[in-house]
Amino acid sequence: MSLAIAGMGWVTPLGNGVDAVWKRLLHGDEASATPISEQFGDRSYSAFRVPESALTGLVHPRLRRASLISRFAATAGLEALQAAGVKVDSQSAERIGLIFAISNGGVIYTKRFYRDVVETGAQAASPLLFPETVFNAPASHLAAILGLTGVTYTLVGDGAVGLLAIKMAEDVMTDQSLDYCLVVGTEEVDWLLCDAYRRWRLLRSAPPIEPFSKQKQGMILSEGAGAIVLARLPRRSAAEVEAGPITIERAHPGGCYRKRAEAEEILTRMLRDLTQIKTDFVISSANGTFIDQAEQVALERAVPNAICYTTKPALGESVGASGLWQVILGAQALRYGELPPSLHVEPNSSLRVSFSRMPVSGARRAIALSSGVNQQVAGVRLAIR
């Protein structure tokens, strides 16, 4: 089932707003790394943080005590709905589905809550913080802000979860009682996450992220949110046409791998499935970790001629948000016929990488490919009508 992308919203370390972030990426901008330290930690880490200016203007009583992750999600979700021209009222409130993609969730408040328990004892546990530690808190806040009363799901997983959420939206939209589905991917970064990924040998101490590098020096974590409004194609509204002619032509459920070799096989199979129709470029999820090699092997096997772009050197690895970011990038590239430069990729890469700003005018189809570091992979095919 094809679904139209009726609107998009974007909050990133390069700022917020789809067009503003897109311009910066085209320009070759790279987010600035911020040091993150912790009172009891013996080292500090680098992360790409969302600038405070990206969240100004977002005021709602429901967000008064909400964590950053909920604020990112609300900002991106509201932008996407506005771009789609979708108004929520008593009639439409149950006809708009909401699907969230999250990996680590509200880790800042979770850590703060548990810190009080460990340091002071259970009697110091905060009843205000605890609800914000729950995975579906960001979805709950956005549903409340919008007044949505129908289908709301929070999907958890690794870096592939954003595309899995789009697959879920495709399944959910089979239900004729839904007109739209708002899919939001969101994540916040914290020292604890950086430390965990470092101990797992997936994090590097400072930028740059070097995608597809044999050195596999790791990623830099980032934060933010991405949101898209999906609409069923037969019901084209004026707003949808205005928002653009980009569709999710096919969402693939992907698979789960145990070892890298299995990831290569699943990715190759999935790419072959998705590229039965000619594909012009691929938005890769390469992030400088072991999984890049699996992705590279699969790309070389299945779509050796496709142009490849990865945004992670510029925006960082935002895990739960990353799949939505890739889809937004793919949609923008199809719409404007241009790919931003892929930063810090080795010049002798065997892949056809967009090393500099590259025209792709006339491109009809693109793949967004997500290979998570926690055993999940997924993909979607975008098309321009």
Site residues (vs other proteins, CB under 8 A): 40-41, 94, 98, 102-103, 110-111, 113-115, 117-119, 121-123, 125-127, 130-137, 139-141, 143-144, 147-158, 164, 167-168, 171-172, 174-177, 192, 195-197, 199-200, 253-258, 374-376, 378
Q: Which is nearer to other proteins, 71 or 167 (CB)?
A: 167
Distance CA 303, CA 365 (A): 13
C-beta of 169: minimal distance to other proteins in Å? Answer: 11
Q: Which is nearer to other proteins, 29 or 94 (CB)?
A: 94
C-beta of 201: minimal distance to other proteins in Å? Answer: 8
C-beta of 62: minimal distance to other proteins in Å? Answer: 8
Q: Which is nearer to other proteins, 217 or 349 (CB)?
A: 217
C-beta of 251: minimal distance to other proteins in Å? Answer: 11
Number of helices and strands (H, E) in the chain? 11, 17
**Residue 319 and residue 203 in contact, taking contact as beta carbons nearer than 8 Å:** no
Structure tokens at 349: 């890469």
**Residue 218 and residue 291 in contact, taking contact as beta carbons nearer than 8 Å:** no
To 5 degrees, how large is the angle CA 44–CA 104–CA 160?
115
Fill in the DSSP letter of residue 340.
P
C-beta of 282: minimal distance to other proteins in Å? Answer: 20
Distance CA 230, CA 80 (A): 10
If one counts every other C-beta atom within 10 angstroms of the C-beta of residue 278, the result is: 11
Q: Which is nearer to other proteins, 252 or 312 (CB)?
A: 252
Q: Which is nearer to other proteins, 152 or 349 (CB)?
A: 152
Q: Which is nearer to other proteins, 137 or 220 (CB)?
A: 137
Q: Which is nearer to other proteins, 116 or 338 (CB)?
A: 116
C-beta of 145: minimal distance to other proteins in Å? Answer: 8
Structure tokens at 111: 């850590």
Q: Which residues, in sequence order, are CB contacts of 126 under 8 Å at separation 6+? A: 112, 113, 116
C-beta of 223: minimal distance to other proteins in Å? Answer: 18
Amino acid at 303: V
Q: Which is nearer to other proteins, 163 or 283 (CB)?
A: 163
The helix (run of H) or strand (run of E) holding residue 328 is: helix 322-336
**Residue 221 and residue 188 in contact, taking contact as beta carbons nearer than 8 Å:** no
DSSP assignment string, 128-152: TTGGGGSTTHHHHHHHHHHT--S-E
Q: Which residues, in sequence order, are CB contacts of 241 under 8 Å at separation 6+? A: none
C-beta of 217: minimal distance to other proteins in Å? Answer: 18
